[in-house]
Structure 1
Amino acid sequence: MSINNFIPSLHPDFRYRVDIVGNEKTPVLVIDNFLQDAETLLEYAMKFGDFRDGTNFYPGIQSNVPDFYSQALQVYLANIICKAFNLKLENIHYSVSTYSLVLTPPARLALPQSRPHVDTIRKEQLACVHYLCTPDKGGTSFYRHSATGFEQLSPERMDVYGEHLDKEALDTSWHKKYINGSNQYYEETGRYEANFNRLIVYPSDVLHSASIPENLQFRPNPIVGRLTLNSFIYLK
């Protein structure tokens, strides 16, 4: 049977919780032990991955995923996601997933890659990160912008936030680095380690960043590199 033609089972120790992060009380859905035999996802990445330069400032390479993955998100997680984010099933439109492998060394980072970011400034999607690597590869952190107190961004906040970004960009001390915890401009409000087969889901308008350790070795091999499976769930 082709790997694309089946949906794997849930892991027998599947479990989840919902955390409330930061002053703006952002829900973060944390799922541990998502899929049984998640190593199959590594096998697919090795055999069939077509990795190319990432999009939207992703600091590495990205690739297609097996067809079943979006189905697994819908079949196993739709009701849990609706409960966690106060949605109805008809709110969930569709999802898009990619393998993502961090490869860009700090010296080659563009300025936006050195600070926390949002994926959208509108409440139109959720982001998912499924870790297919081990905790030594770092995880994902959420942040509060110290000067404004913003933890989520919206169209109404962008003028004020942008003014601060322009000023803070003049300080080059934090350029060419991955943010990995609080610094002089951002306060870390939550951190999730990259436990293998853990999946986290959060609103795409919340400030966040991959937490990349200083000693990370940037390896293009999915088996030993910082491989994640990243998805966006689009909302009506």
Structure 2
Amino acid sequence: MNNTDFLPPLHSQFRYRIDIVGNEKTPILVIDNFLHEAEALLGFAVKFGDFRDGTDFYPGIQSNVPEFYSQALQTYLPDIICEAFNLTRENIHYSQSTYSLVLTPPARLALPQSRPHVDTIHKEKLACVHYLCTPDKGGTSFYRHRATGFEQLSPERMDVYGEHLAREALDTSWHKKYINGSNKYYEEIGRYEANFNRLIMYPSDILHSASIPENFQFRPNPIVGRLTLNSFIYLTEKSD
């Protein structure tokens, strides 16, 4: 499974679409039936996974991925990525992936984990979530901050956004909860179910969050937990 010479084929029913969400018209790439026999990726996580506490506020544990996975992303997806996000192949630099399992119960959430977030406030990467679980485990949602109207964050927006976050943090009614749809501070502008072998890709500066249902069972077993393959596609600057 770690042999970089091995490259799984695309699923015979591979299909994709490009959605546009929100007032800021952010493209979301949705791929259904990505790889043939994606169950092997689940098997790799069970047999070879070395799960440890997640990084960057990820509410769970993460692990290494088979070496061929990045090769699959970089072999099959560049043309579609260019179409969806108005890029050229020269803009696509490299990818980095990890298995992820949500495990942190609501009572242990840090404040930033209870609201939508961005992965960066710059334009240097795209984020991918490849679901290796079923829809009942919760998908991914995108949001608009009600007070500012922001759907994407940038360095220029952070002063204003930060002022609102400080005020909203005083309201403890939304603390220690996973956001799962609109609340008084954020409006959901798009939602994608965690269909097995579905991959979604989006700019890393859009506000988003995993949609964790209230009855979610926090299980560390990849077979029954919310297993995803999370990736970043790193970009170079667009040429003029």
Letter in 2 for 1:225: G
- Asked if 1:4 is matched to 2:3, the reply is yes
Partner of 2:158: 158
Could you tell me which residue of structure 1 aligns to residue 42 of structure 2?
42
Question: What is the rounded CA distance, in whole Å, between the counterparts of 1:169 and 1:55 in structure 2?
Answer: 23
Tell me, which stretches of 5 or more residues in structure 2 are unaligned? none
Match of residue 233 from structure 1: 233
| Alpha-carbon separation, structure 2, partners of 1:3 and 1:204 | 28
Q: TM-score, normalised by structure 1?
A: 0.99
Q: Give, in angstroms, the shift of residue 4 of structure 1.
A: 3.0
Identity of aligned residues (%): 85
Match of 1:215 in 2: 215
- Deviation of 1:3 after TM superposition, in Å, equals 4.7
Match of 2:25 in 1: 25
User: What are the residue-to-residue correspondences of 1:185-204 with 2, within 5 Å?
Assistant: 185-204=185-204
1:48-87 correspondence to structure 2 within 5 Å: 48-87=48-87
| Counterpart Cα distance in 1 of 2:48 and 2:227 | 15
Q: In the alignment, which residue of structure 2 is the partner of 1:97?
A: 97
The whole-number CA distance in structure 2 between the counterparts of 1:108 and 1:127 is: 25
Which letter maps to 2:190? G
Amino acid at match of 2:37: D
Cα distance in 1 for partners of 2:2, 2:40 equals: 8
Distance across 1 between alignment mates of 2:3 and 2:47: 13
**For residue 170 of structure 1, what is the amino acid of its counterpart?**
L
Which residue matches 1:106? 106
Q: CA RMSD in A?
A: 0.6
SS of equivalent residue, structure 1 residue 4: coil
Q: TM-score scaled to structure 2, two decimals?
A: 0.97
